[in-house]
C-alpha cells in the first residue's frame, strides 16, 4: 500500500512569530526565555486579575500556549498559596500530570515533590511543602472522600475540560457544590449543613462531625478555573452561573493536510511507509504518529527498528520514542529529550499528545484517524474498549501539532471524503461508560440521590439504574441503596474498579488474598505477554512455560511468581540498575513485556499497602488453586459465560454472544463454564483473561444473582 499525497488542503492560516525551541534544557536562562516567549506570557497580569475578580473563570486557549505549565506559576507568584494553601491542577491523564509537573519543577528550579509535585493513582510525588500540585481528575475525587471541603486548596484548575472524561464531569458537579458551601462559610463563618457539602440538607443544624471538620480549618473561598483547548465556553459558563470566560490566542503556522487516495486496509503498515517516506524525502523535523494503545505502539516500534536496519548506513538516523499512559514514569520524559545531531525523532503516541502534552520539535503528524475509547452498551450494561474514528475536532487538534514552530505537514491515513463523515466532536464519557465506579464514589461522598445530582450533562437513567443494580449485587449497597458497612466503604476506599475491590475483599475470606493481589495488579496493565508479529510462534512457545490449564488468571500469577523467583536470585549484591537490566533481559527471553511487568509490580505493592491498612487478612492458598478459582467465581460472577454448541459463549448476565480471545490459554480447550475480565470488541466480541469454573459454583457462591437462574441450577 503506497501512500499518495493526493490533495493538498491548506488549513489554519493564522500566523504568528516564530519561536525557536532550544532543546538544551537544564539551563535555567533558556527556560526563562522560553517561558517569556509563550503566548500566555503577554497576558499574565490580566489573567491574574481575572482570577482575583472572579470566583469561577473559564479559560480557552490554543494547545501549547502555556496554560497548564504557566498559569499555576503565575498564581503562585500572585500569592494564592498564602497560609500554606495549595493550587491543584487536574488532568484527565496520568502521563500529563507527571510530565508537566516535572517540567514545571524544572522551570521553578525546585526539586520535584517539593514546591511542585504530582499525585496520581499508585504514585504520589508530593510533600507538605507542595504548593502546585498536578494530579488526575480521578485522584482529586478520591481526595474529596477524606477532605470533603477540599480545604487545603485555594484554587482548583480543571484542565483539559473539553475531554469530558467521566471524572471531569463528576468533579465539576462536586466542585460547584464545594465552592458554594465554602463561600457561605466565608460570609457567616459557619455553614449550615448536616454532614458534608453534598448531603443536600443545607438547612439542617450543624452536626458535630461537620463542626469537627471545620475546626481549625480556615476556608478561603474556592477559586475554580476551567481550562481547555478547543471548546465552546458557553456551556461551562452557563453551568457555573454565567461565569466569565477568556480566550488566549496561540500561534499556529499553516499545516498542509494530505490524505490517502483510497481507504487503507492496514493503517499500521501505511503509517510505517509514511514515516519512512518523510524520513527519506522531507526536510528536518520530528514526526508524531497517533496510535491507539500500548500494544500497537510497541508493534510499530519493533517494525521501525527492523526497517531502519535495512536502510543504508547513512539513512539510519531515526529514533523511535513511545509515549502512552502506562509507560514507566522514568521513560516518559524521553519524548522531550533531544536526539543526537542529525537524527530525526519519531514519537509514537496515543491521543495523550493530542492536547495534553506538547512536545517541541514536531513538523510532521501522521494520523490514522483512530482512537481507543470506552463504550458502554446501555442494554447489556457491558463496557468495552473499542477503536473508533476520531471526531473532526480531534483530527484538527492532531494536525495542529505539526504547526507550532513553523509550517508543517499532516498525513491523514484515510481518504479526504472520510473526513466529512466524522462526527463534529466526541460524546462525553459519562454518556458512554459504566457508572458503577462514580456512583460508588458519589455514595461515599454522601450523595444519595444520584439521579438528582447536578451533572452538567445527565447520564441516562437506565445506566444509573444498571450501576445501582450492579453495586447492590456486589454488596456495596444495602437494599435501600445506601453504602453498606463495611463492604461498600471498603470498596469505595480502594482505588480500583468496584469489581476488583470486591475481589480483594472476597479473597481475604477465601484465604487467597496474596493470589488476588497479584491478579488484580496484573489485570490492571495492558498486555503482559509480548507478541511481536514476526515472532508469534516463538512467543507462543515461551508462554507455555507459564500457562495453566485452568486459565489466564493463574497463568498471570505464574508469570509474576517466576519474576519474583528470578529477582530473588539476582537481587543480592546487585545495584538497582543492574537488577533492572537483568529483569529486562529475563523478560525478553520469556517474551514478557518488561514495561507492563514493572508497572504491575508497582501497582501490586501499592494495593498491598491499601489492603494492609484496611486490615484485610493477607494469606496465600498455596497450591490450592481450586479455592482460588472459587474465589474468582465469587468475585466476577457478573462476568460468567456458558459454552454454546457451536463453540461460542453466552454471557449469563445479558445473553451476549462472546468468544474466547485467541491469546487466551483456554482458546483451544473451550471449557463449559468460564468467568472473564475483559471484553474487547473488534469484528467479534472477544473476551480476555478467562478462567475455567464449575457452573454449580455460581448459585452456591452468588445466590443473590443465580439462585433463580434455571439454566445454571438445572445443569
Ligand atoms: P497548554 O497547556 O496551553 O497546551 P503547556 O503549558 O502544556 O501548553 O505547554 C507550554 C510549552 O511548554 C510548550 O511549548 C511545550 O512544548 C513546553 N513543554 C511542556 N512540557 C515540556 C517538557 N517536559 N519539556 C520541554 N518542553 C515542555
Ligand atoms: Mg495544557
Which of the listed residues 28, 30, 69, 335 should we mutate to test ligand 1's pocket, taking the one with most ligand atoms within 8 A of CB?
A: 69
Distances (CA, A) of 427 to 163, 167, 459: 9, 14, 12
371-379 LR contacts (CB < 8 Å, sep 24+): 371/290, 371/292, 372/292, 372/293, 373/426, 373/432, 374/429, 374/432, 374/433, 375/432, 375/433, 375/681, 376/432, 376/433, 376/434, 376/463, 378/460, 378/462, 378/463, 378/466, 379/654
Lookup: cell for 713:
441450577
Distance 46 CA to ligand 1 centre (A): 21
Per-residue pLDDT at 189: 58
Q: Three-state SS for 170?
A: helix
Q: Which ligand is nearest to the CA of 71?
A: 1
Please give the average per-residue pLDDT across 412-438, as a whole number.
Answer: 92
Check whether 206 has a pLDDT greater than 50: no
Atom of ligand 1 nearest to the CA of 355: 4
Atom of ligand 1 nearest to the CA of 250: 3
Per-residue pLDDT at 526: 81
Q: Which ligand is nearest to the CA of 335?
A: 1
Distance 523 CA to ligand 1 centre (A): 32
Tell me the range of 45-59, 138-152, 430-444 where mean pLDDT is highest.
45-59
Q: Please name every residue paired with 125 in a beta bridge, in sequence order, or none if there are none.
A: 118
Tell me which residue of 520, 518, 514 sits closest to 618, measured CA to CA.
Answer: 514
Lookup: cell for 176:
460547584
Tell me which residue of 332, 395, 341, 340 sits closest to 366, measured CA to CA.
Answer: 395
**What is the C-alpha separation between 526 and 595, in angstroms, rounded?**
10
| Whether the Cβ atoms of residue 566 and residue 583 lie closer than 8 Å to each other | yes
Atom of ligand 1 nearest to the CA of 70: 6
How many C-beta atoms lie closer than 10 Å to residue 573's C-beta? 6
Distance 286 CA to ligand 2 centre (A): 20
Instruction: Tell me the DSSP string of 14-81.
Output: ------------S-HHHHHHHHHHSGGGGGHHHHHHHHHH-SEEEEEE-TTSSHHHHHHHHHHHTTTT
Spell out the alpha helix ranges (H) of 445-574.
461-473, 487-493, 498-509, 513-523, 536-544, 552-571
Residues sharing a CB contact under 8 Å with residue 548, sequence separation 6 or more, in sequence order: 554, 555, 558, 625, 665
| Whether the Cβ atoms of residue 281 and residue 287 lie closer than 8 Å to each other | no
Tell me, using a 6 A CB cutoff, whether residue 64 lines ligand 1.
yes
Distances (CA, A) of 116 to 6, 119, 265, 311: 48, 11, 46, 44
Tell me, using a 6 A CB cutoff, whether residue 99 lines ligand 1.
yes
Distance 540 CA to ligand 2 centre (A): 42
Which tens digits make up the pLDDT trace of 531-543? 877 788 899 899 9
Check whether 709 has a pLDDT greater than 90: no
pLDDT band at 688 (very low <50, low <70, confident <90, very high): very high
Per-residue pLDDT at 197: 56
Which tens digits make up the pLDDT trace of 323-375? 998 887 778 889 999 999 999 999 999 999 998 889 999 999 999 999 998 77
pLDDT band at 204 (very low <50, low <70, confident <90, very high): very low
Tell me, using a 6 A CB cutoff, whether residue 336 lines ligand 1.
yes
**What is the C-alpha separation between 543 and 545, in angstroms, rounded?**
5
Which of the listed residues 17, 34, 39, 103 should we mutate to test ligand 1's pocket, taking the one with most ligand atoms within 8 A of CB?
A: 103
Per-residue pLDDT at 188: 60
Q: Please name every residue paired with 658 in a beta bridge, in sequence order, or none if there are none.
A: 649
Tell me which residue of 169, 55, 159, 173 sits closest to 97, measured CA to CA.
Answer: 159
Residue nearest to atom 5 of ligand 1 (CA): 66
**What is the C-alpha separation between 136 and 117, in angstroms, rounded?**
12
Distances (CA, A) of 568 to 202, 451, 583: 57, 52, 11
Tell me, using a 6 A CB cutoff, whether residue 65 lines ligand 1.
yes
Per-residue pLDDT at 321: 96
Per-residue pLDDT at 396: 94
Which tens digits make up the pLDDT trace of 290-330? 999 988 999 999 999 999 999 998 899 999 999 998 887 77
Please give the average per-residue pLDDT across 44-64, as a whole number.
Answer: 94
Count the residues in the chain.
715
Q: Helices H, strands E: what count in the chain?
A: 26, 22
Per-residue pLDDT at 199: 54
Calculate the average pLDDT of the chain. Answer: 88
**What is the C-alpha separation between 394 and 370, in angstroms, rounded?**
10
Distance 162 CA to ligand 1 centre (A): 18
Per-residue pLDDT at 577: 87
pLDDT band at 432 (very low <50, low <70, confident <90, very high): confident
Per-residue pLDDT at 88: 98
pLDDT band at 114 (very low <50, low <70, confident <90, very high): very high
Residue nearest to atom 17 of ligand 1 (CA): 358
pLDDT band at 27 (very low <50, low <70, confident <90, very high): low
Tell me, using a 6 A CB cutoff, whether residue 74 lines ligand 1.
no
Q: Which ligand is nearest to the CA of 21?
A: 1
Which tens digits make up the pLDDT trace of 557-602? 999 999 999 999 988 888 888 998 999 999 999 999 998 999 899 8
Distance 464 CA to ligand 2 centre (A): 31
Per-residue pLDDT at 468: 95
Tell me which residue of 140, 157, 171, 179 sits closest to 225, measured CA to CA.
Answer: 157
Per-residue pLDDT at 380: 62
Check whether 611 has a pLDDT greater than 90: yes
Residue nearest to atom 6 of ligand 1 (CA): 66
Tell me, using a 6 A CB cutoff, whether residue 66 lines ligand 1.
yes
End-to-end CA distance of the chain: 53
**What is the C-alpha separation between 446 and 473, in angstroms, rounded?**
20
Helix 594-614 crosses helix 513-523 at what angle (to 10 degrees)? 140
Atom of ligand 1 nearest to the CA of 248: 3
| Whether the Cβ atoms of residue 225 and residue 57 lie closer than 8 Å to each other | yes
Tell me which residue of 203, 172, 184, 229 sits closest to 56, measured CA to CA.
Answer: 172
**What is the C-alpha separation between 346 and 371, in angstroms, rounded?**
19
Per-residue pLDDT at 327: 84
Give the least confident one: 33-37, 255-259, 276-280: 33-37
Tell me, using a 6 A CB cutoff, whether residue 61 lines ligand 1.
yes
**What is the C-alpha separation between 167 and 356, in angstroms, rounded?**
16
Distance 168 CA to ligand 2 centre (A): 15
Amino acid at each position: 500500500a503506497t501512500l499518495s499525497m493526493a490533495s493538498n488542503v491548506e488549513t489554519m492560516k493564522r500566523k504568528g512569530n516564530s519561536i525557536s525551541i532550544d532543546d538544551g534544557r537544564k539551563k535555567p536562562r533558556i527556560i526563562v526565555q522560553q517561558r517569556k516567549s509563550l503566548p500566555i506570557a503577554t497576558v499574565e497580569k490580566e489573567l491574574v486579575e481575572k482570577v482575583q475578580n472572579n470566583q469561577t473563570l473559564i479559560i480557552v486557549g490554543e494547545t501549547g500556549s502555556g496554560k497548564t505549565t504557566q498559569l499555576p506559576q503565575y498564581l503562585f507568584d500572585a500569592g494564592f498559596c498564602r497560609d500554606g494553601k495549595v493550587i491543584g491542577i487536574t488532568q484527565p491523564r496520568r502521563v500529563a500530570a507527571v510530565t508537566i509537573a516535572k517540567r514545571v519543577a524544572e522551570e521553578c528550579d525546585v526539586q520535584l515533590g517539593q514546591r511542585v509535585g504530582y499525585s496520581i493513582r499508585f504514585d504520589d510525588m508530593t510533600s507538605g511543602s507542595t504548593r502546585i500540585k498536578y494530579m488526575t481528575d480521578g485522584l482529586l475525587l478520591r481526595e474529596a472522600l477524606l477532605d470533603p471541603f477540599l480545604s487545603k486548596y485555594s484554587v482548583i484548575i480543571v484542565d483539559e475540560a473539553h475531554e469530558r472524561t467521566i471524572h471531569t464531569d463528576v468533579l465539576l458537579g462536586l466542585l460547584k457544590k464545594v465552592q458554594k458551601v465554602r463561600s457561605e462559610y466565608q460570609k457567616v463563618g459557619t455553614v449550615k449543613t448536616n454532614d458534608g457539602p453534598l448531603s443536600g440538607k443545607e438547612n439542617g443544624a450543624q452536626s458535630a462531625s461537620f463542626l469537627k471538620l471545620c475546626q481549625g480549618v480556615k476556608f478561603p473561598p474556592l477559586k475554580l478555573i476551567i481550562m481547555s483547548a478547543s471548546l465552546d465556553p458557553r456551556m461551562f459558563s452557563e453551568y457555573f452561573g454565567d461565569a466569565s470566560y477568556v480566550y488566549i490566542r496561540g500561534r499556529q503556522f499553516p499545516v498542509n493536510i494530505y490524505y490517502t487516495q483510497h481507504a487503507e486496509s492496514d493503517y499500521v503498515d501505511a503509517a510505517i511507509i509514511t514515516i519512512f517516506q518523510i524520513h527519506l524525502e522531507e526536510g528536518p523535523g520530528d514526526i508524531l504518529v497517533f496510535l491507539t494503545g500500548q500494544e500497537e505502539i510497541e508493534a510499530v516500534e519493533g517494525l521501525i527498528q527492523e526497517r531502519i536496519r535495512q536502510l543504508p548506513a547513512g539513512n539510519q538516523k531515526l529514533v523511535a520514542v513511545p509515549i502512552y499512559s502506562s509507560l514507566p514514569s522514568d521513560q516518559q520524559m524521553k519524548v522531550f529529550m533531544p536526539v543526537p545531531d542529525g537524527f530525526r525523532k519519531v514519537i509514537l503516541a496515543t491521543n495523550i499528545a493530542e492536547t495534553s502534552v506538547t512536545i517541541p520539535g514536531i513538523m510532521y503528524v501522521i494520523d490514522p484517524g483512530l482512537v481507543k475509547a470506552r463504550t458502554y452498551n446501555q442494554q447489556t450494561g457491558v463496557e468495552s474498549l473499542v477503536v473508533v474514528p476520531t471526531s473532526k475536532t480531534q483530527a484538527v487538534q492532531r494536525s495542529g501539532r505539526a504547526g507550532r514552530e513553523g509550517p508543517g505537514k499532516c498525513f491523514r491515513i484515510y481518504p479526504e471524503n472520510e473526513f466529512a463523515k466524522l462526527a463534529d466532536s466526541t460524546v462525553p464519557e459519562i454518556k458512554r461508560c459504566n457508572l458503577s465506579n462514580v456512583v460508588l464514589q458519589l455514595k461515599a461522598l454522601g450523595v444519595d440521590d444520584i439521579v438528582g445530582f447536578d451533572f452538567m450533562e445527565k447520564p441516562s437513567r437506565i445506566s444509573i439504574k444498571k450501576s445501582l443494580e450492579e453495586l447492590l449485587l456486589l454488596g456495596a449497597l444495602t437494599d435501600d441503596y445506601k453504602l453498606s458497612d463495611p463492604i461498600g466503604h471498603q470498596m469505595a476506599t480502594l482505588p480500583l474498579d468496584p469489581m476488583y475491590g470486591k475481589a480483594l475483599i472476597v479473597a481475604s475470606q477465601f484465604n487467597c488474598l496474596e493470589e488476588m493481589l497479584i491478579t488484580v495488579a496484573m489485570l490492571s496493565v495492558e498486555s503482559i505477554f509480548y507478541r511481536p508479529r514476526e515472532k508469534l510462534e516463538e512467543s507462543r512457545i515461551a508462554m507455555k512455560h507459564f500457562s495453566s490449564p485452568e486459565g489466564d488468571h493463574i497463568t498471570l500469577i505464574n508469570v509474576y511468581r517466576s519474576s519474583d523467583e528470578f529477582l530473588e536470585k539476582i537481587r543480592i549484591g546487585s545495584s538497582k540498575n543492574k537488577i533492572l537490566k537483568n529483569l529486562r533481559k529475563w523478560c525478553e527471553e520469556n517474551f514478557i513485556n518488561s514495561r507492563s511487568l514493572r508497572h504491575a509490580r508497582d501497582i501490586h505493592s501499592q494495593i498491598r499497602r491499601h489492603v494492609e491498612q484496611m486490615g484485610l487478612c493477607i494469606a496465600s492458598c498455596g497450591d490450592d488453586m481450586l479455592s482460588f478459582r472459587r474465589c474468582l467465581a465469587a468475585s466476577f460472577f457478573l462476568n460468567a459465560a456458558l459454552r454454546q454448541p457451536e463453540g461460542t459463549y453466552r454471557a449469563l448476565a445479558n445473553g451476549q454472544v462472546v468468544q474466547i480471545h485467541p491469546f487466551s490459554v483456554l482458546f483451544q480447550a473451550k471449557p463449559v463454564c468460564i468467568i472473564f475480565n475483559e471484553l474487547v470488541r473488534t469484528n467479534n466480541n472477544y473476551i480476555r483473561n478467562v478462567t475455567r469454573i464449575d457452573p454449580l459454583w455460581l448459585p452456591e457462591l452468588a445466590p443473590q444473582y443465580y439462585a433463580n437462574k434455571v439454566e445454571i441450577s438445572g445443569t
